[in-house]
Amino acid sequence: MSSRFSYRPYRRVFRTPLRTAHGLWTEREGLLLRTEAEDGIVRFGEVAPIPSFGTETLAEAREVCAKFGDTLGAGTVSAVPDRMGCVRFALAAVLDNATPPKAAAARLPVAALLPAGRAALAALDARLEAGFLAFKWKVGVDRPEEEMPLLDDLLARLPGYAKLRLDANGAWSNRDATRWLEFCAERPLEFIEQPLMNEDALLGLAEDYPVTLALDESVSTLAAAREWQARGWRGVFVIKPALAGPLDELVAWAHETKPDLVLSSAIETALARAQILRVVFAEKLTERALGFGIGEVFGDRRWDGPIVGPLLDASWCDQVNPEALWNAAS
Among the listed residues 138, 163, 258, 284, the single catalytic one is 138
d(CA 172, CA 192): 12
Burial call 98-120: b when 16+ CB within 10 Å, e when fewer? eeeeebeeeebbbbbbbbbbeeb
Number of Cβ within a 10 Å radius of residue 270: 26
Q: Name the amino acid, one letter, at 241.
A: P
Q: From the CA atom positions of the chain, what is the Rg in Å?
A: 20
Among the listed residues 102, 136, 163, 240, the single catalytic one is 240
d(CA 190, CA 214): 10
Q: What SS3 state is found at 289?
A: coil
d(CA 181, CA 105): 35
Backbone angles phi, psi at 327, to 5 degrees: -65, -35
From start to end of 21-107, where are the E strands?
23-37, 42-47, 71-72
Q: Is 284 a catalytic residue?
A: no
Q: Is 240 a catalytic residue?
A: yes
Number of Cβ within a 10 Å radius of residue 22: 16
Q: What SS3 state is found at 127?
A: helix
Q: Which residues are catalytic?
A: 138, 240
